[in-house]
């Protein structure tokens, strides 16, 4: 097997097998590898059980390179009923979408996300579409503290359909929103949410959409139900 992805012992090594029946799957730099043999003879496929680690893909873990595109590709590619683990280290990223997933766990124990970007909508995890059983846990996340850049840890805009969400044991600093979930129109809803044991510090801004440590918006009838928020620590949150 391989000793590493880029360097020996970097966590990206492992065993692969050659599937000669597959000459169409794209090289994703982690799970499926296409060698330089021409004509193509198949796809080298990683042998693994359980979680998918970011180390499989050789991502930078020193916060020197923005890995948004690679992280987005990993999340987009995993099937339902998957677990993604950010291998320990520091990640530089901008907005990453979690779109219409079922039973997806994303863990980051030992991982730190540093947000960058000036688009005014930079979420470490933006929940989009119809998702069920999403768990995000164990991260440290730091923004730049600039209100106009709107750095956020977890966010959803109005109109999403989100059920059975579990966010816990994250430490979030210097953002405009910590965890903010919205169902402010007639097409979306938010049900069965558990948010606990998160630390949120330095949340800036005083206008609408700013200064939210933990925030929900549900204006339409029956838009939200069974939301539990417990044992979180909020420090220096400018609104709520």
The pLDDT assigned to 188 comes to 79
217 beta partners? 182
What residues form DSSP beta bridges with 8? none
DSSP 32: E
208 Cβ contact partners less than 8 Å away, ≥ 6 residues apart: none
Cα 230 to Cα 103: distance, rounded to the nearest angstrom: 22
Mean pLDDT of successive 10-residue segments in the chain (240 residues)? 92 96 96 94 96 97 97 96 98 98 98 96 96 98 96 93 96 97 76 96 94 84 81 93
DSSP category for residue 205: -
Q: What pLDDT score was predicted for residue 176?
A: 97
| SS3 category, 147 | helix
The answer to whether 72 and 104 have CB atoms below 8 angstroms apart is: no
pTM here? 0.95
Could you report the per-residue pLDDT of 183-198, keeping only the tens digit for each?
A: 756 677 889 999 999 9
> What pLDDT was estimated at residue 222?
61
**Virtual torsion, Cα 47, 51, 57, 61, nearest 10 deg:** -140
At residue 185, the pLDDT reads 62
The per-residue pLDDT for 158 is 86
pLDDT at 186: 64
């Amino acid at each position: 097997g391989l000793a590493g992805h880029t360097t020996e012992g970097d966590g990206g090594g492992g065993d692969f097998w050659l599937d000669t029946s597959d000459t169409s799957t794209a090289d994703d730099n982690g799970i499926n590898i296409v060698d330089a043999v021409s004509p193509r003879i198949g796809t080298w496929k990683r042998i693994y059980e359980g979680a998918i680690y970011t180390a499989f893909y050789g991502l930078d873990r020193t916060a020197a390179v923005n890995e948004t595109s690679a992280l987005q590709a990993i999340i987009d590619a995993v099937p339902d009923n998957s677990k993604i683990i950010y291998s320990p280290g520091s990640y530089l990223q901008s907005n990453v979408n979690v779109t219409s997933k079922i039973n997806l766990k994303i863990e980051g124990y030992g991982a730190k996300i540093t947000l960058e970007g000036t688009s005014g909508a930079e979420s470490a995890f933006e929940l989009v579409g119809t998702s069920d059983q999403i768990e995000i846990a164990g991260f440290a996340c730091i923004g730049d503290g600039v209100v106009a850049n709107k750095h956020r840890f977890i966010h959803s805009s109005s109109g999403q359909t989100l059920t059975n969400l579990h966010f816990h044991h994250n430490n979030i600093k210097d953002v405009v929103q910590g965890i903010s979930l919205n169902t402010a129109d007639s097409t979306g809803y938010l049900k069965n949410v558990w948010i606990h044991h998160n630390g949120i510090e330095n949340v800036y801004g005083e206008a609408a959409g700013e200064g939210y440590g933990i925030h929900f918006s549900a204006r339409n009838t029956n838009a939200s139900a069974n939301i539990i928020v417990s044992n979180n620590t909020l420090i220096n949150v400018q609104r709520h």
